[in-house]
Structure 1
Amino acid sequence: MISALLLVGLVVAAFVGFNVGGSTTGPAFGPAVGADAISKPAAALLMTVFFFVGGWTLGRRVVDTLGRELVTNPDIFTLQASIGVLFFIGLALFVGNMFGVPASTSMTAVGAIAGLGVARNALDWAVLGEIATWWLVAPVIGFWVSLVIGRYFYARLHRIIAMERTDGDLLTVDRSGAVPVPRPAETTTRRELFGVTTVIVIGCLMAFSSGTSNVANAIAPLVGSGALAMNPAIVLACAAVGVGAFTIARRTLETMGSDITELPLTAAIVVAVVSATLVIFLSAIGIPASFVVIATMSIVGLGWGRATRPVSVPDAVRGESEVPVSVGGLAADEAGGDEVPGIGEEEPDDIPSAADLFDPGTTARVVVMQNVVPMLATVGAYLTFRFVPIFGF
């Protein structure tokens, strides 16, 4: 029979997974829903399936890192401590949503566990140092890869990927045979079908990457405490994510779908591929990664690369990049001499300046909050686990 305390732990873990599903489904499938490629229920179903695949495969490596390797003595993960850690993760999600900035659940989970480890003198500083190093390196890699893409390859990618949806349904169901078969509608073009397929595949890739990293945030403390085995814990987290994807994620899907003009389809795909690839790599080596932070720096890098095409790097650093983006020199050869659509612009002939591509003030606010929220969780967890008598310290 499940004890009352374990039941509370399962409920809190499910609450964290529920919020993860609500906050990550929009970024993963918002472009697909906004392009009328799939419906919201279909997006939620794909999110649930591929999150589970990511969590079941690479995700358990991150669970081991957070639940067993980050602390030198896993016995400190009592049920009370596990519930406390999960509480701080859930609180971080709430605070981030209140400020309109999605908090990094991975960074917050590591912070809360680190606070527990310091309070009990059981933190493995070497493991924490490795995690922190990758947290610094991965966003920088995402920034520079996206910058290079934006500076040299964005125009070519845009011509390949960009699409306009025709009126009517994308697919029809052929019921002439024994088994109904979906086929492209008569009005559907090959370019449209390719673009729609691309955004759906990218959404599945993002859902998979989210599962590899975020499943640990909901269950690592319970697994580390031995109160719950790995496989049932993963199933619990993924089921909770699915509930969140089918319920509260509908609003984030609407937001991401309606706001897609602020980040065109081509830019959204570039950011998603770069960010998801880095997250999957980090999860494969057991490092909990923040998709939000990496994606933010990828967006900035892509915008910076697009904005500085006609100027040299030293001029860009000195802030002399307010020249409207045009294509010239080597870039003109790669783009075929055509003008390139700017990020946030629908018409290729309407070319933005550097200031139009990303707002430094908004970027600074997002980056600051994404670091402040995990810090609050770390300090709060340390003070709680160190001085609150109910935790036995």
Structure 2
Amino acid sequence: MTEVLLIVGILVAVFVGYNIGGATTGPAFGPAVGANVITKLMAAALMSIFFFIGAITIGPQVVDTLGNELVHDTGIFTMRSNVAVLFFIGGALFVGNYAGVPASTSMTAVGAIAALGLATGELDFAVLGEIVIWWIVAPIIGFWVAGVVGRYFYPQINAWVAIEESDSDQPMVSVNRSGLVPRLQFGENADRREISGALVVVAIGCLMAFSSGTSNIANAIAPIYGTGDVDMIPLILIGSVAVTIGCFTIARRTLDTLGNDITNLPLTAAIVVAVISSGIVIGLSWIGIPASFVVIATMSIVGLGWGRATRTTKLSDAARGEEETHVSVGALTAEEEGERPPKIGEEEPSDIPKASDLFNPSTTARVILMQNVVPLISTVGAFLTFRFVPIFGF
């Protein structure tokens, strides 16, 4: 019976990994796909490769936190309870993926495991508190770092990078398989700067995929690892294969949402946000904290737009109360890529576009709603099951 439950548990873990692939590919490569830099197929391949690299290198620290430290007694990770935990994680993520919204896999997984610990009286509130504190602090760090970049460095970066979206039907970067050895092929008439910009966008997507692997592999395999019946490395391999399947299938929906529907975020801004968010996620994963990339990235976008909007005001004027700066995410569209950066205080507030010029309000509302609903489904569903369903009683 135990072997049957183990097989079922691994299958459910594969289902979770499948949905993680669907939920995380969009944030990583949505900008590159939306700008027609690479195809969805190449995005899936790159996501799979770099997710695995992150999972096998830094990922074990987060697996250990969720599998061994979040609850006092890992004995509650029976095969029966594991199937239920993974079912709620995978089921909740599937709801988000079906809606085309990349939900927070970390919040969804921590919620289900914490619900098991709370229902059985084995939840380590100190560990949960540390995780939650970092969930609050990390987006704030992202906001302020992005704000500084937006005020002092973003226009210069924008002028230097000069990444423009491709109008061609063919992607900027593709793979030529006509020869014995496949090689990269770039769009016709693409100059050196356009090629460099395209490679930068792809490289940032790879960095995001790596950071996703460091944090999200635990969400699929931590409950099974907590039983001690399967070693970590085989579980990481199984989880990574499942993520790969999700990348090549259901991820197409989230790629459309983040690449085309939700925002017209300039590629330069997307790069800055990705670097900041990925750096924070990798740092948290290094100390064993499962992090929500989507929440950190969202606050980084707001911070970047706010910092860009403050360039209309000099610090000396602000200190005297002569100028007031309003948050404007739309400020990120205030200049085109490659345009000469304006000096601080040189612009008027009327030159800053509204946020509605940057975000699609209806799609943004749907994303925000699902970002909260998906972890709630996982947490509440798991708690009610472990607390009141006799078959899962402890």
Pick the TM interval, shorter chain: 0.7 to 0.9
Could you say which residue in structure 2 is the equivalent of 1:14?
A: 14
C-alpha separation in 1, matches of 2:162 and 2:377: 42
Could you say which residue in structure 1 is the equivalent of 2:248?
A: 246
Aligned-residue offset at 1:163: 2.6
* Equivalent residue runs for 1:1-393 within 5 Å: 3-97=3-97, 101-164=101-164, 165=166, 170=172, 182=184, 187-259=189-261, 262-311=264-313, 335=342, 351-353=352-354, 356=357, 370-371=371-372, 373-393=374-394
> Any gaps of 5 or more consecutive residues in structure 1?
328-332, 343-348
C-alpha separation in 1, matches of 2:391 and 2:177: 64
Change (3 A) 1:123 1:32: same
Aligned-residue offset at 1:186: 6.7
Change (3 A) 1:175 1:10: closer
C-alpha separation in 2, matches of 1:241 and 1:317: 50
C-alpha separation in 2, matches of 1:316 and 1:70: 50
3-state SS of paired residue (2:121): coil
C-alpha separation in 2, matches of 1:160 and 1:360: 31
Amino acid at match of 1:258: N
Change (3 A) 1:176 1:76: closer
Change (3 A) 1:257 1:369: closer
Could you say which residue in structure 2 is the equivalent of 1:346?
A: none
Amino acid at match of 1:381: A
C-alpha separation in 1, matches of 2:360 and 2:36: 28
3-state SS of paired residue (1:227): coil
Change (3 A) 1:122 1:156: same
Aligned-residue offset at 1:30: 1.9
For 1:6-56, what per-residue CA distance to the aligned partner results, in whole angstroms no more than 9, with x for missing partners? 222112111111111112112211222233332222211111110000011
Amino acid at match of 1:380: G
Whether the 8 Å contact between 1:71 and 1:117 is mirrored in structure 2 is: yes
Aligned-residue offset at 1:228: 2.4
C-alpha separation in 2, matches of 1:159 and 1:71: 50
For 1:323-369, what per-residue CA distance to the aligned partner results, in whole angstroms no more than 9, with x for missing partners? x9699xxxxx96458989x9xxxxxx974046655689987875565
C-alpha separation in 1, matches of 2:19 and 2:148: 34
Q: Which moved more, 1:166-175 or 1:272-281?
A: 166-175
Whether the 8 Å contact between 1:115 and 1:381 is mirrored in structure 2 is: yes
Amino acid at match of 2:387: R
Aligned-residue offset at 1:130: 1.0
Q: Which moved more, 1:225-234 or 1:128-137?
A: 225-234
C-alpha separation in 2, matches of 1:94 and 1:253: 15
C-alpha separation in 1, matches of 2:175 and 2:20: 34
C-alpha separation in 2, matches of 1:316 and 1:212: 46
TM-score by length of 1: 0.84
Q: Which moved more, 1:250-259 or 1:107-116?
A: 250-259
Whether the 8 Å contact between 2:19 and 2:97 is mirrored in structure 1 is: no
C-alpha separation in 2, matches of 1:190 and 1:214: 36
Change (3 A) 1:55 1:141: same
C-alpha separation in 2, matches of 1:173 and 1:391: 51
Amino acid at match of 1:231: I
Change (3 A) 1:351 1:234: same
Whether the 8 Å contact between 1:107 and 1:374 is mirrored in structure 2 is: yes
Change (3 A) 1:27 1:169: closer
Whether the 8 Å contact between 2:30 and 2:255 is mirrored in structure 1 is: yes
Change (3 A) 1:40 1:275: same
Amino acid at match of 2:275: V
C-alpha separation in 2, matches of 1:368 and 1:40: 26
Aligned-residue offset at 1:62: 0.4
Aligned-residue offset at 1:134: 0.6
Whether the 8 Å contact between 2:176 and 2:185 is mirrored in structure 1 is: yes
C-alpha separation in 2, matches of 1:181 and 1:93: 36
Change (3 A) 1:77 1:37: same
TM-score by length of 2: 0.84
Whether the 8 Å contact between 2:265 and 2:358 is mirrored in structure 1 is: no
For 1:155-181, what per-residue CA distance to the aligned partner results, in whole angstroms no more than 9, with x for missing partners? 111112223347577579999998675
Aligned-residue offset at 1:387: 2.0
Q: CA RMSD in A?
A: 3.7
Whether the 8 Å contact between 2:305 and 2:327 is mirrored in structure 1 is: no
